[in-house]
Structure 1
């Protein structure tokens, strides 16, 4: 099939674009390269469109269509961005432009939401619980979910949003301080430094390995129902647990260096309830924290530049 991957030079998008190409599909990547990197696409042999879904004239994209499936991974993911107008225009209004094209083309759409919509809500987090975003990034994703529901009756195929939890794996190196905690701590430890984490280290995250995210995107592209579904490992691990696992694979013995958390919008415990994801899409994560870190280390990119 003919497929479009927006944000295709980014972490998740580049992994997905290369997977789809390897599976024999005709894949076009779209990215504005404002926060991604060409390095993620050096081994990608499909077409690359350099466009901003909100700010640029989309005639080039429209002429490049139609597409059977759109995987919309593009958005501002920097949660420290305080410019609400910029965040909402880029994420929500850019999505609206793409939804209009999906309606015109008759495309199926899979798109990236976020566990940031849950805020400090109770864990394990269920899709049915009340959203409580703590910043404009989380709100922009919630707004996109509302848009998807409004457009669903107008689209030819089901539209599926994926609430990503803490994704990690090869291809995230370019994100710098916004890369996963697993990558950032590994980078410190490879330099012989003690890993710095918020005190007391018992804060929990649902860390989901990139291969399970790929699995869920492919399942979503065959979905018979529209909706928003969690994408996680289905289990939470503490920051201390991450340090223990990294010491194991890196063969180091570096205790954490604790410091106080400076953020007031911090989630202390995230964990995906996968009941709906299993029932509706047949999702079954294959990587727990230990296995995921093993795979990441085996890739040769854990903690690398």
Structure 2
């Protein structure tokens, strides 16, 4: 197939590209990281060349809001579009910028998918649920607590208007972790952050009440399988999680066991407590052919060699 991946130098996009490249023709569109930061100090663009060292397809550096980038995508004539590009920082608060990038560009991609009769699989987020009761289910109690989550909900709403014209599938990712996330920096998973704290011989730093803060952690290999399942799914929105909620303290405990340490924990205030989700758990839909294969313990065990490699080769020299 001819596959277009927006945000393909980022976390999930790069792993999709590497997984699919042997049997498909792939074009990656990514703005790539520069020096521009949000008001919170985090980088605006997270695409990194090191995520693509093994990529053999075509890479075009461009902004998905630009006409030239749209022309390049149209000329490629993809059969499938995996749309991963977005401002994904949940602590960024420039509403104009986030909605412009995430929502306005999405309508152009929908139009392109209709024009080319291409399947469009796009990244949504479990953040749309806000404080909805667990397990969270699509269509029940969504109440975004930040502008990023709101942008994703608006993308989903927009897509519903075109279900009769195109194959449009939104995937609500829960807490994704695994290979490819390192260059997200401060927004990488707590699994990676805790592990590197431990490898640095430091006590893992937990927010107050972390034994009561639950997340549905989903491994990157399961996320790739969910994207593949979306190719044959009915147009709609589906959860992508493990279906199990685990605490941040459990994450740190598992990592300490795997790494052979027994540090006491450093407890710190939660600076995001007013905009924080305290319990996420995906209800997995029976009408979506996706079954997670990795428990948290299994995912961490599978990820551990990459975590150690990153610590030795990248963390001290990270730019």
Distance 1:182 1:43 in 2: 24
In structure 2, the partner of 1:196 is: 205
| Aligned pairs for 1:85-100 within 5 A | 85-100=96-111
Distance 2:73 2:20 in 1: 21
Query: Structure 1 length normalisation: TM-score?
Result: 0.94
| Aligned pairs for 1:127-142 within 5 A | 127-142=138-153
In structure 1, the partner of 2:184 is: 175
Distance verdict in 2 for CA 1:139–1:201, change over 3 Å: same
Aligned structure 1 segments of 4 or more residues deviating by more than 4 angstroms? 300-303
Query: Is the 2:195–2:307 Cα contact (8 Å) retained in structure 1?
Result: no
In structure 1, the partner of 2:247 is: 238
| Aligned pairs for 1:203-218 within 5 A | 203-218=213-228
Distance 2:75 2:94 in 1: 32
In structure 1, the partner of 2:86 is: 75
In structure 1, the partner of 2:301 is: 294
In structure 2, the partner of 1:268 is: 278
Question: Over aligned residues, Cα RMSD in angstroms?
Answer: 1.3
CA displacement 1:166-217 (0-9 Å, x = unmatched): 0000111001110001111111111001111111222110000000000100
Distance 1:152 1:200 in 2: 42
- Superposition deviation, residue 64 in structure 1: 2.8
Q: Which runs of 5+ in 2 are unaligned?
A: 33-44
Query: Is the 1:75–1:90 Cα contact (8 Å) retained in structure 2?
Result: yes
In structure 2, the partner of 1:282 is: 289
In structure 1, the partner of 2:13 is: 13
- Superposition deviation, residue 281 in structure 1: 2.3
Distance 1:40 1:129 in 2: 36
Please, which of 251, 260, 278 is the counterpart of residue 251 of structure 1?
Answer: 260
Query: Is the 1:184–1:303 Cα contact (8 Å) retained in structure 2?
Result: no
Distance 2:123 2:182 in 1: 20
Query: Structure 2 length normalisation: TM-score?
Result: 0.90
- Superposition deviation, residue 128 in structure 1: 2.3
Q: Which runs of 5+ in 1 are unaligned?
A: none
